[in-house]
Structure 1
Amino acid sequence: MTVLAGTDGDVPYVEVSCVDAAGRRLRRPLLDCATARFEDVVPVRPFRWSRGSHHFPGWYWSSTTGQLVGFESWLKRDHLVLMDFDPAVAQIASQPFWLHWHDGSRERRHAPDFFVRRADGSGMVVDVRADD
């Protein structure tokens, strides 16, 4: 596992990559992203539909954002609707970035489902998973 230089070796090195509104690809250390406006980025992956698939991707018109927000399943859509009705939520971005890290044997990456900017200015990363 890669660790941050100058630390005690317990902090794994994680990077974030995204595509800004101008279409530029950006990649930075996670610790440098505390003030990043992830609500302004475009999804890092496309939402795909295929005949006979078992997931239900789509686009939801969010009154909070005033634009379409993508989802990949009905469960994720349901969470998106709940966030849209939450007065503490000011912005929602779908699949806003990739998280990159090394697990000790190989490079890994994961795109969280949503980034939420709250009305108080704080940010929240939301990953939706079924209970099972």
Structure 2
Amino acid sequence: MIGEGDGAEAGAVGAGFEAVFVDPGGQVARQRWVDAAWAVAFEDLDPVAAFPVVPGRRWGPGLWWSATTGRHVACGSNAMRIQLAVLDRDPRVVGMAGRPVRLLWRNGAGRVRSWVPQVFARYADGTALLADCPGHPEAGGERALRAAEAVAEACARVGFAYQRLEPPGAAFAANLRWLAGYRHPRNAGRPGLLGLVVEAFARPRPLADGVDAVGDPIEVLPVAFHALWHGHLTAPLDAPLHERVLVHAPVPGARHGGGGRREAE
């Protein structure tokens, strides 16, 4: 693992940024960042470095099952998990990976620096987002903030973006965790049921009313939650979900403000 200012790497890093990653064959590879950014499918790669295990923390490294790709994404914290959920619902996102690339560069004093962004997300237009998921604005201290500036510069050079993603509000995060439990295709229900549920909310109506109009809530409600996750239905997610929340099918062609997804089934 290459650390910040690792002397063993100092003589090897040239001008500009370089990328270190584990290629599909399991070998550690290294390229100029400007070459690797567009040539390497980082969204398909394993982590280049393991997520740390922090003693005493309630939530440790794990896996997020992505409804976008049908594959697992390595995840290092609860803060990262909720950001993966947000990206998983974004209709622009077509691929995601956890820690697939390490960036190397020299600072103004000529010392080698490195950083591994927590998330890589590929968009449908081929561009990408590299992101970190701090639990609070000061997480990581000055080193993380300096690295953020460098990684943002590296991304700008290739038409990508970098962000330190701000944690969402408590109500939105709770709603997203709930809906995520219904993201798997098995919750679409029997053939034709999803279409009936969406049709029932052609005009805004309370969740319970629309579900009752379709059939047995035990069968229909999971389908409604599945539709809310994927953006076939929409509802305000900044306040707690409840049976009287107004739900409706989005206008065809309009972007779903809650980050709805298209179905991949």
Scaled by the length of structure 2, the TM-score of the pair is: 0.43
In the alignment, does 2:35 pair up with 1:32?
A: yes
Q: What secondary structure is seen at the aligned counterpart in 2 of 1:46?
A: coil
Over aligned residues, Cα RMSD in angstroms? 2.1
Specify which structure has the bigger relative contact order, considering alpha-carbon pairs within 8 angstroms and separated by 6 or more residues: 1
Residue 120 of structure 1: how far off its partner (Å): 2.0
Please name the residue that 1:115 is paired with: 120
Shift of 1:107: 1.8
CA contact (8 A) 2:44 2:96 kept: no
2:17 corresponds to 1:20: no
- For the pair 1:73 / 2:73, whether they are aligned, the reply is no
Q: Which residue of 2 aligns with 1:7?
A: none
Conserved 8 A contact 1:20-1:40 = no
Structure 2 residues without counterparts, runs of 5 or longer: 1-12, 139-265
How many angstroms apart in 1 are the aligned matches of 2:61 and 2:84? 12
Question: What is the aligned length?
Answer: 123
- Structure 2 CA distance for partners of 1:34 and 1:44, relative to 1, 3 Å: closer
Question: Where does the alignment leave 5 or more consecutive residues of structure 1 unmatched?
Answer: 5-12
SS at the partner of 2:83?
Answer: helix
Residue identity opposite 2:125 in structure 1: D
Deviation per CA, 1:56-85, whole angstroms, max 9, x where unpaired? 322111111211111111111110011011
More strand by share: 1
Q: Report how far residue 99 of structure 1 moved.
A: 0.5
Letter in 1 for 2:33: L
Please report how far the alpha carbon of residue 106 of structure 1 lies from its aligned counterpart in structure 2 after TM superposition: 2.7
Residue 60 (structure 2) aligns with: 56
More helix by share: 2
Residue 33 of structure 1: SS of its match in structure 2?
helix
